[in-house]
Amino acid sequence: MNLTHEERQALINLANEARKLAYVPYSNYPVGAALRTKSGRSYTGVNVENAAYPQTMCAERVAIFKAVSDGETEFDVIAVVTKNGGSPCGGCRQVLAEFGLDTIVLLANGNGKLVKESTVSELLPEAFTPKHLAADK
């Protein structure tokens, strides 16, 4: 899939805008995500922290779960914005792998500048995917 500069920047801007709504009273590290599905719909997510730290949810998973709850399971691209262009955690990489290793991942900083572009496959080599659960025939 070829993304134009304008498409990249629009998703980064959407994620950066969503980032303002992050609930991060403990880490003060707001993350915003913007996911575009193959049908062309976009979903945003923010990280939501919790005093019981393991219950915190990442922005990437929030966006993915919102899309899935609307029946969308095929994704083109996700933009993730942090203040310094941080990369998705292992859990988010695994959830992204569930829905496609070819999904493009755009990492940007809080100024809206693209820091890195890759695919889920590049972020999670040798990923465990649904095909590993398929029964041998």
Which member of 6, 49, 60, 117 is catalytic?
60
Closest by CA to 12, choosing from 3, 25, 23, 2, is 3
DSSP letter (8 states) at residue 48: B
Q: Which residue has the tokens 């980064």?
A: 12
d(CA 3, CA 80): 16
User: Catalytic residue at 72?
Assistant: no
Active site residues: 60
